[in-house]
Amino acid sequence: MTKFFFVIPLSFGLIAMTLTSLPHMHAQTIELDRDNPFSVPSTLPFQAPDFTKIKNEHFQPAIDAGIKQQYEEVLEVANNPDPPSFENTIVAMEKTGELLTRVSRVFFNLTSANTNPELQRIQIEMAPKLAAHSDNIFLNPQLFSRVKQLYDDRENLELNGEQHQLLKETYIRFVRAGAQLNAEEQARVRAINEEMSSISAKFQENLLALTKERSVLVDDVKELDGMSEAEIAAAAKLAADRGDDGKYLVVITNTTRQPITVSLKSRDLRKRVWEASAYRGLGRNGGIDNRELVLQLARLRAEKAALLGYASHAHYALEPQMAKTPQAASEMLTNMVPAVVDKAKQEAAEIKAMMKADGLDGDVQPWDWEYYAERVRKAKYDVDASQVKPYLELDSVLKNGVFYTMNRLFGVSFSERFDIPVYHPDVRVFDVFNEDGSTVGLFYADYFARPEKRGGAWMSSFVTQSRLQGTKPVIINVMNIPKPAEGAPALLTFDEASTMFHEMGHGVHGLFSDVEYPSLAGTSVPRDFVEFPSTFQEDWSIEPEVLQNYAKHYQTGEVLPNELLQRVLQANKFNQGFDTLEYISAALLDLDWHAVSPENAPTDMEDFEAASLRRHGVDLPAVPPRYKTAYFAHVWPGGYAASYYAYMWSEVLAADSFALVQGRGGLSRESGEQFRNSILSRGGSSEPMDLYIEFAGREPSVDGLLIRRGLKEE
């Protein structure tokens, strides 16, 4: 099953590009109070952040100082009287921004995983400053002149492959930022970037607030029939923490579908929960309204793309991706629509029959699907989710599943340590070692949901690998698994277990990075390639050898019975019509929002969304998009604008390569080393398709994807 969770990469190039300083500043000596923990690199192992010293009040002065300091450094590069060389221009730029990078990595990780009102205030205030800072770098004519001279003479510079790639990527960043525009056009680009950064920050703040606003308060425990005792206890604690003693709080996750509806027997409560999710961000009953923010972002993105010479933001966004054009991305999705819709309709018919057996007539409603799909799954395969969860205890999934697989593939081991300060008590830290005992880096795991964390799951980093800077990676995986009541075990669904493997796929992409330059390190790759390594790791979660190693009953230690395992594996491909259609609907919706020109920018968010789904033939009422527009975190503040299709594109690569690995011996060090050396260690140092062909020996085939999703027989 494809996961829909994204990385948050932060390197010099990406900070300069996407966190997009103050209006034109002059070089000056910048001093940050030495009591500020960001003033010097952390003395902890691997330069891990020292959260015993970091306070809210340290961020804003450090970001301000980092902006000014990097601008001074960039001016030195731009005004260097010596003729431009790769070393004094491109490498010199890679060395700028040490302070800003250090504080930004911590700040943006916390605003996602452990935010508070003060951090949110700083984020909104700093967003336009960071946007202007990016423009001050990429719209500097002297700096661009030096980069362009090198790019034009690149064939005579005797560069190695990684240096050639860095020069090309640097030049492209300048051009795509507007370096070739005239002064008036550049001024407008600056204004647009500043405005978009403020709107995006507000949208992200609203998303967190919506999770609280749309939580469903339940008065009577009888309405929670179907939930486990541990889940009910957790809901009671959430309500009590909010001041509603004796009641129960059902928290909304970031997707349209709500996992809790799988088990809730009360149709009325399922409807309340689903509607709380699906209608959020629309300003209903005086609530938070994201509609105008969406319309503003769509219009501004279209205007900026037009200024840069593109037909739409989608054309602008996809040019550096593997897909290259929105047409290619759209065709991949629309070509699947007829088969996927047919599959979803078949599933709907089975669900409708199950509902009729319960005395419910009429069409399947979206709040019915998850509940009755699970009933159908149980009837067809005799698999009940509650039967399986006792075999999926979190620590066993992590250590005996995820870590075990990484050891079998790559020879690495994980050793928990307790001397590294963390930003929340739930966060765990692990040393990562190669087979020869050499250190790879640090891995942080932050798995439990809490009100201060945005929804979803993702990977990010506190430090990235770079031979130039002499740094090793400090990587973090974040999820939103419901935290059990005190003393109760954390039992996972298969989807949550699979997500742990997925996010570790991103994790090893960062951990195994072995490049010279920080802008090319780890996950600094195109959007439609970055989800490939993570999706590749998912399928190991159901590999029999791996599953039997971690799927053990938390009380008895009994291994998940083989007969139940086979039924689980069969059931794993059930409901793929729904899963695929809700994803394709959201991906097509994203492409449509970013295909508009400034002249035809939408004026009504809900009408535009409905028309888009109708036009593509994916407007099945019972199967809404995985994300509706008003809370589509990936594409408004999340960096995936016009790129949500990337998950499916990456899944083609992942399914194809997984099939290849199975044919090469499956779970083995040889397979793992090939994947590590050809894909995971290379970051963005080569073109993605070249990396894939180096690993696979050919371009990818779609057959693996169709088989993986149960849309084609093996």
Active-site residues: which are they? 503
Helix (H) or strand (E) holding 692: helix 688-696
Q: 668 in helix, strand or coil?
A: coil
| Cα end-to-end span (Å), the chain | 17
Q: Which residues contact 381 (CB under 8 A, 6 or more apart)?
A: 567, 568, 570, 571, 574
Distance CA 575, CA 484 (A): 28
Q: Which is nearest to 5 in space by CA: 590, 524, 458, 455?
A: 458
Helix (H) or strand (E) holding 480: strand 474-481
Bridge partners, residue 250, by sequence: 216
Bridge partners, residue 481, by sequence: 448
Write out the DSSP string of 495-559. Answer: HHHHHHHHHHHHHHHHHT---S-GGGSTT-S-HHHHHHHHHHHHGGGG-HHHHHHH-B-TTT-PB
Distance CA 714, CA 710 (A): 9
Distance CA 701, CA 465 (A): 32
Bridge partners, residue 414, by sequence: 432
Bridge-based pairing state of the strands 458-463 and 439-448: unpaired
Q: 633 in helix, strand or coil?
A: coil
User: What is the three-state SS of 197-248?
Assistant: HHHHHHHHHHHHHHHHHCCEEECCHHHHECECHHHHHHHHHHHHHCCCCCCE
Decide: 691 and 650 in contact? Cβ < 8 Å.
no
Residue with tokens 């996992």: 259
Distance CA 33, CA 30 (A): 10
Q: Which is nearest to 476 in space by CA: 517, 525, 428?
A: 428
CA angle, 569 then 571 then 572, to 5° = 65
State both tokens at 616. Answer: 């593509």
Decide: 107 and 61 in contact? Cβ < 8 Å.
no
| Sign of the dihedral defined by the CA atoms of residues 60, 208, 588, 347, in that order | positive
Distance CA 636, CA 623 (A): 22
Decide: 462 and 476 in contact? Cβ < 8 Å.
yes
Q: Which is nearest to 441 in space by CA: 521, 531, 386, 381?
A: 521
Decide: 44 and 50 in contact? Cβ < 8 Å.
yes
Distance CA 637, CA 202 (A): 9
User: What is the three-state SS of 418-446?
Assistant: CCCCCCCCCCEEEEEECCCCCEEEEEEEE
Q: Which residues contact 142 (CB under 8 A, 6 or more apart)?
A: 78, 79
Write out the DSSP string of 373-413. Answer: HHHHHHHHH---HHHHGGG-BHHHIIIIIIIHHHHHHH--E
